[in-house]
Structure 1
Amino acid sequence: MSQTYPLVCTRGVILFPEQEIVIDVGRQPSLKAIENAQDNYEDKVVLFSQIELQKDDPTMDDIYKVGTLCEIRHVRRFENFLRIKFKGLDRVQLNAWEQGSLSDIAQVDILHSYRQDEMEEVALVRMIANEFDTMGNAEKFLSKELIIELSKGIGADLLSDRAVQAFPLSTERKQKYLETLGINDRLEMLLADMEKEKKMSEVEQKINETVKERIDQGQKDYYLREKMNAIREELGDIGSQDQDAEKIRKRLEENPYPDYIKKKVTEELQRYEMLPMASGETGVIKNYIDWLMDLPWWQETHDNEDLNEAQRILDEDHYGLEKVKERIMEYLAVKQMTNSLKAPILCLVGPPGVGKTSLARSVARALDRHFVKISLGGVRDEAEIRGHRRTYLGALPGRIIQGMKKAQVTNPVFLIDEIDKMASDYKGDPSSAMLEVLDPEQNSMFSDHYIEESYDLSKVLFIATANYLENIPPALRDRLEIIELSSYTDIEKTNIAKEHLLPKQLEENGLKPSQLKVSDKMLLYLIRYYTREAGVRQLERTIATICRKTVLAILKDGKRSITLNKKLIHEWLGNEKVDYGKKEKKDQVGTVTGLAYTSFGGDILQIEANKFDGHGKLILTGQLGDVMKESASIALDYIRAHAKEYHIDSSDFEKLDVHVHVPEGAVPKDGPSAGVTMTTALVSCFSNIPVKANIAMTGEVTLRGNVLPIGGLKEKSLAAHRSGIDTILIPRGNVKDLDELPQEVKDAVTFIPVSNVKQVLSHALVQ
């Protein structure tokens, strides 16, 4: 039969039968319900918990449908609320919520718990009592009196309600207990929650122990550090050492150093703090820590991904060099497409002054990366690359790590200059140490003897430069992507001077373009008669000299503007310094124009042969190397074997001495490309047939008379073109290299491929 009682809604508070609870009541509907209960319902109200705790005006849909019939045991009045002690009587089911004249009224049915299997009930009660005994933190939730009562074995119905009332469970879970009428069902729920709480307590205890250990260790470290400071103070050692240590610790905490570096620095820092300031080792340790901290471990720049802008920068900085620019643009495009790319190891090979170093700077500017440079010229010690071990006095990291510290980022453009100038001695082979630096498969774990920890170089764009490819060790060359930069043609030099060198020198010397006017014709004159080089370094110095002379003339003589002409050039620079166009003016016997690849790029050589009475000796002069001496011997032996073909009296080889000379005897000469030249000179000498003056040749000869391919065809062709030669004999194996020649050279010079000496002589000798 339904009964009615004043209704009070609670926020997250659930009261069980036979339990007491104190609640603060402050909402107007609840205050009216309490007053109504005291006046008309013998101090009885029903408590229902809200589903949504934040709701101030709940309706029937906002509260749970099972609540508790309570008795008001004590009321204490405050200014804005009542503090009331309630005692639970019975579980009730809400049927209806009515609006009464004095307060809200709930129509409820009384719910009674029911017993289930008695044997199971006894077992569950015993298990719960045992669980309470083993719970180390039971006193946190239950009073000592309740624990004593539980151990004595109170009734099963009361056991579950009394234990759950004090247990730290969610509102939803407690409501589930209130709604469960089967006593055994409630006991099973309680047993499961106790087991869960027990595990939770174990986890909490473990966490507490860990925290306590850390706090204890921190306090211990603090105590020992303070004690050490006090000892130092007594000894007079107190100073900057502690401040340094504190700064390092702060830096470690504030920056994302790799864990292994943090660990290493911390270990070294502990050693540093234990040593007295006067100890010599403190400086060594501090220096090592500084290197570890100052190296870039995570900092990097973002590459410029605007390909058009990168192309514009490359074109702006350098005239020509299309192959190199194209390779850089390919690198940028692939990196942008894949979003990750192992940096290639580029090697720019070419004569001095052609722009290898400045091109590397230009690449850094195009990529928007930091630029750093080291030079390996004359490096003999492996420790220059890998660093010295810290056991040595004055040890330092190698040049690679020093360069990375200077760059301050993990992905700079790193120029390794003069990689072909490394040497080796008893201290080790630095070129072997470079293998790890320049191998993309190894340099992600580069090991420096000083740093000791591995360092990642895989994001670095390495660019190496060399003058001679042959001087780079084969194993190192295999890891490099070779890009050859050959000599500039006169037209290229003129454009470079006009677009880059002249504007640069005008600015550096404080001149306006209107104050010094230099025509293309005058630039070409300077190039041909005052410089002799593959690149433009000497040309830039010559232009700088002219700019300085111009400044002096303007300030001293009061001139406003100067137009450069030959007269001024002779006055300022002196007479012509280079004989441009050294080819023979007429056909001569025993004189042949050869082609050589020198440090200036390409050059022409006049090889002269003469015969006179003697005993068949071969005399060689001109400071020739072993290879050229062998070429002369091979040429003479070939002619002796084929004397009849060239109408040469074989007895001449016994009664005449032969002298072969290469002019400019003070300059050492060597290389496998003078065979055909010497053979032609000797045949001309013995047969008295002149050699055409407008023809030059290059190639090596075998004893059978075959002509072998040579290197440096572009440089040699440029030298011949500069000298006014219009026909060049080249080995047939070099025909494939003609594509690399500038079009102006191919238009002006006729290239004749030859495969044997007979073809050479048929073209070279005057018929």
Structure 2
Amino acid sequence: MTFFHFENENFLDDDFPVISTAEEQRMAEEDLPEEIGILALKNTVLFPGIVIPITVGRDKSIQLVREVYRSQDRRIGVVAQRVVEIEDPETEDLFTYGTIARILKLIKMPDGSVTIVIQGRTRFEVEAFTAEEPYFKAQVRRAGDTYPDQDQGRALIYSLKEEANRIIDLSPNIPTEAKIALDNIDSLSFLTHFIASNLSLDVSEKQEILEMNSLLDKAELVLQYLGNELKVLELSEEIQTKVKIDLDKQQREYILRQQIRTIQDELGEGGSESELESLRMRAEEKIWPEEVEKVFEKEINRLSRLTPAMPDYAVVINYIEWLLDLPWQNYSEDSFEFKEVQKILDQDHYGLEKVKDRILEHLAVLKLKADKKAPIICFYGPPGVGKTSLGKSIARAMGKEFIRISLGGARDEAEIRGHRRTYIGALPGRIIQGLKKASTSNPVFMLDEVDKVGNDFRGDPASALLEVLDPEQNNTFRDN
């Protein structure tokens, strides 16, 4: 929002001086003519003492200003329109309060219009319109003013200048001449009119100020408008400062990243940025739990601060690759067609009726109560009787992927839980590797040769298997 809007810096030079108290008093005592021509203004309110340029385009208005300019005292009555949009106003479309003005300059424009420079002299009230053609004429009387006492006047002048100067300081588009003009004003009336004229107010708001007879009330209202304007400017400056800080930070980060990229290119490490982008694009295609997404963002941000030459780079990117490779929320549809299951089991295995019945019974329980924590089936028997092939048949019958994990001779707990990330070449355990290989979160897992699991100083795999095989614990199994 603009506070002061000088349209010509020459309005502050010696041709149009700032009005002194004595000059203001002299203008207020001028005799008013019995009848005066009235110029209707569309969106401008003229205050006493103020100099403004006006472009006149209506034929009747052009005739009026030309006749007045040729007259001896060049005085004209200026009144604002109630409704700006009306092109050809009637008398009822005009306010009843206006300002006697003197035409200082008249300039003919190439398009036939006329630009005049006028200075407000004193306020008036229309008693009656006496003519509408060829232009408006009216009988007017001087609008009386009431003044505050001397101490109140000085206090108001100080407050008005203080608020206005603060606004000027916050508005880089306001010329320095505005501050000089304010400092040279010693009249409360002219100071109030000067500020009100340059405030970005509606015509109705400026007209309200013009019509007020009490200079004390008028100055207090202008102070209120100044306070509102100051709040807006202070908030705007606060926002601009914050935006500038954010932009400076972003620009600094951009420059630093460009420098890092250049250095990486020189060192032959320039592929890390494209690698990061590739990882992010893969992540956008994933549908995973919120907790996993937070972990991914944390790790990808950490990776962005590392260079490929750093030891942690390979560790972090390996972890992220595993996050992206796992089949989050990807489940194959269960098939519980018992006749088909029975048929496939009979095709693959002869006999073993009790085992087949137990498998069908287990599948029936899963179908009826899918959320029930069903026990894990254990096949035992001598080598070659078909334990492993039964697992394959179950997976084929249900339309699931089959993952076999051989635990024969496994002596390291890391085979089940995976290695710690801090170790070089660390890998997840067999369970997570199986999920990645299956590309689905619900394959048929067969842990083969469980009885041949050993243990030594590296840990006890059998104890780690307890968490995998216990239905009460395996839903919270965590790999290292």
TM-score by length of 1: 0.40
- Aligned equivalent of 2:275: 244
Residue identity in the other structure for 2:145: S
| 1:111-260 alignment runs, 5 A limit | 111-132=143-164, 137=169, 140=172, 144-148=176-180, 150-151=182-183, 154-169=186-201, 171-235=203-267, 237=268, 239-245=270-276, 260=294
Give deviations 1:553-590, integer Å, cap 9, x for gaps: xxxxxxxxxxxxxxxxxxxxxxxxxxxxxxxxxxxxxx
Can you give the 5+ residue segments of structure 1 that lack an aligned partner in the other structure?
302-309, 329-343, 362-371, 408-412, 440-445, 450-767
Cα offset, 1:157, TM superposition: 0.9
- Aligned equivalent of 1:417: 444
1: CA distance, partners of 2:449 / 2:85 = 80
- Aligned equivalent of 2:298: 264
Q: Contact 1:37/1:45 (CA < 8 Å) preserved in 2? A: no
Deviating more after overlay: 346-355 vs 80-89:
346-355
Give deviations 1:183-222, integer Å, cap 9, x for gaps: 1112222333333444433333332332222232233223
1:90 maps to 2:127? no
Residue identity in the other structure for 2:216: N
Q: Contact 1:50/1:64 (CA < 8 Å) preserved in 2? A: yes
| 1:501-650 alignment runs, 5 A limit | none
Residue identity in the other structure for 1:425: A
Of 91, 94, 104 in structure 2, the residue corresponding to residue 73 of structure 1 is: 104
SS in 2 for 1:415: coil
Deviating more after overlay: 68-77 vs 254-263:
254-263
Residue identity in the other structure for 1:14: V
2: CA distance, partners of 1:300 / 1:32 = 85
Q: Contact 2:103/2:119 (CA < 8 Å) preserved in 1? A: yes
Q: Contact 1:48/1:64 (CA < 8 Å) preserved in 2? A: yes
1:16 maps to 2:47? yes
Give deviations 1:249-285, integer Å, cap 9, x for gaps: 899999999895686256324323xx2x455544444
- Aligned equivalent of 1:431: 468
Cα offset, 1:160, TM superposition: 1.0
2: CA distance, partners of 1:39 / 1:16 = 23
Cα offset, 1:388, TM superposition: 4.7
Go from structure 1 to structure 2 and tell me whether the alpha carbon gap of 1:144 and 1:347 turns closer, same or farther (over 3 Å shift). Answer: same
Give deviations 1:281-316, integer Å, cap 9, x for gaps: 44444444556678899x999xxxxxxxx9xx9889
2: CA distance, partners of 1:404 / 1:388 = 16
Go from structure 1 to structure 2 and tell me whether the alpha carbon gap of 1:346 and 1:193 turns closer, same or farther (over 3 Å shift). Answer: farther
Cα offset, 1:162, TM superposition: 0.9
Go from structure 1 to structure 2 and tell me whether the alpha carbon gap of 1:254 and 1:71 turns closer, same or farther (over 3 Å shift). Answer: farther
SS in 2 for 1:15: coil
SS in 2 for 1:243: helix
TM-score by length of 2: 0.60
Go from structure 1 to structure 2 and tell me whether the alpha carbon gap of 1:7 and 1:283 turns closer, same or farther (over 3 Å shift). Answer: same
- Aligned equivalent of 1:469: none
Cα offset, 1:122, TM superposition: 2.9
Go from structure 1 to structure 2 and tell me whether the alpha carbon gap of 1:292 and 1:130 turns closer, same or farther (over 3 Å shift). Answer: farther
Go from structure 1 to structure 2 and tell me whether the alpha carbon gap of 1:29 and 1:218 turns closer, same or farther (over 3 Å shift). Answer: farther
Cα offset, 1:97, TM superposition: 7.5
CA RMSD of aligned residues (A): 5.5
Q: Contact 2:97/2:123 (CA < 8 Å) preserved in 1? A: yes
Q: Contact 1:16/1:165 (CA < 8 Å) preserved in 2? A: yes
Cα offset, 1:18, TM superposition: 1.0
Which structure has greater strand proportion? Answer: 1
Go from structure 1 to structure 2 and tell me whether the alpha carbon gap of 1:240 and 1:138 turns closer, same or farther (over 3 Å shift). Answer: closer
2: CA distance, partners of 1:58 / 1:385 = 92
Cα offset, 1:21, TM superposition: 2.0
1: CA distance, partners of 2:467 / 2:82 = 81
Q: Contact 1:6/1:46 (CA < 8 Å) preserved in 2? A: yes
Q: Contact 1:5/1:107 (CA < 8 Å) preserved in 2? A: no
Q: Contact 2:330/2:441 (CA < 8 Å) preserved in 1? A: no
Residue identity in the other structure for 1:241: S
Over alpha carbons, which structure has the higher Rg?
Answer: 1
Go from structure 1 to structure 2 and tell me whether the alpha carbon gap of 1:234 and 1:198 turns closer, same or farther (over 3 Å shift). Answer: same
Q: Contact 1:6/1:34 (CA < 8 Å) preserved in 2? A: no
2: CA distance, partners of 1:168 / 1:296 = 63
1: CA distance, partners of 2:398 / 2:138 = 89
1: CA distance, partners of 2:132 / 2:243 = 57
Go from structure 1 to structure 2 and tell me whether the alpha carbon gap of 1:161 and 1:391 turns closer, same or farther (over 3 Å shift). Answer: same
Cα offset, 1:156, TM superposition: 1.1
| 1:440-459 alignment runs, 5 A limit | 449=480
Go from structure 1 to structure 2 and tell me whether the alpha carbon gap of 1:111 and 1:427 turns closer, same or farther (over 3 Å shift). Answer: same
SS in 2 for 1:203: helix
| 1:309-324 alignment runs, 5 A limit | none
2: CA distance, partners of 1:264 / 1:284 = 14
2: CA distance, partners of 1:101 / 1:417 = 101
1: CA distance, partners of 2:465 / 2:447 = 16
Q: Contact 1:376/1:422 (CA < 8 Å) preserved in 2? A: no
1: CA distance, partners of 2:425 / 2:473 = 25
Q: Contact 1:373/1:403 (CA < 8 Å) preserved in 2? A: no
2: CA distance, partners of 1:250 / 1:29 = 71
2: CA distance, partners of 1:247 / 1:30 = 72
1: CA distance, partners of 2:90 / 2:101 = 21
Give deviations 1:98-125, integer Å, cap 9, x for gaps: 8833345677655343224544333222
Deviating more after overlay: 35-44 vs 239-248:
35-44
- Aligned equivalent of 1:393: 424
Q: Contact 2:403/2:434 (CA < 8 Å) preserved in 1? A: no
Residue identity in the other structure for 1:90: T
| 1:713-732 alignment runs, 5 A limit | none
| 1:369-384 alignment runs, 5 A limit | none
- Aligned equivalent of 2:350: none
Cα offset, 1:382, TM superposition: 7.7
Q: Contact 2:38/2:135 (CA < 8 Å) preserved in 1? A: yes
Go from structure 1 to structure 2 and tell me whether the alpha carbon gap of 1:150 and 1:377 turns closer, same or farther (over 3 Å shift). Answer: same
Q: Contact 2:102/2:118 (CA < 8 Å) preserved in 1? A: yes
Go from structure 1 to structure 2 and tell me whether the alpha carbon gap of 1:87 and 1:209 turns closer, same or farther (over 3 Å shift). Answer: same
Cα offset, 1:19, TM superposition: 1.0
Residue identity in the other structure for 1:211: V
Residue identity in the other structure for 2:42: T
Residue identity in the other structure for 2:121: L
Residue identity in the other structure for 1:181: N
Name which structure has the greater RCO, CA cutoff 8 Å, separation 6+: 2
1: CA distance, partners of 2:253 / 2:324 = 23
| 1:329-348 alignment runs, 5 A limit | 344=371, 347=374
Residue identity in the other structure for 2:442: L
Identity of aligned residues (%): 25
Give deviations 1:104-156, integer Å, cap 9, x for gaps: 56776553432245443332223333445655716757654553454466111
1: CA distance, partners of 2:467 / 2:425 = 20
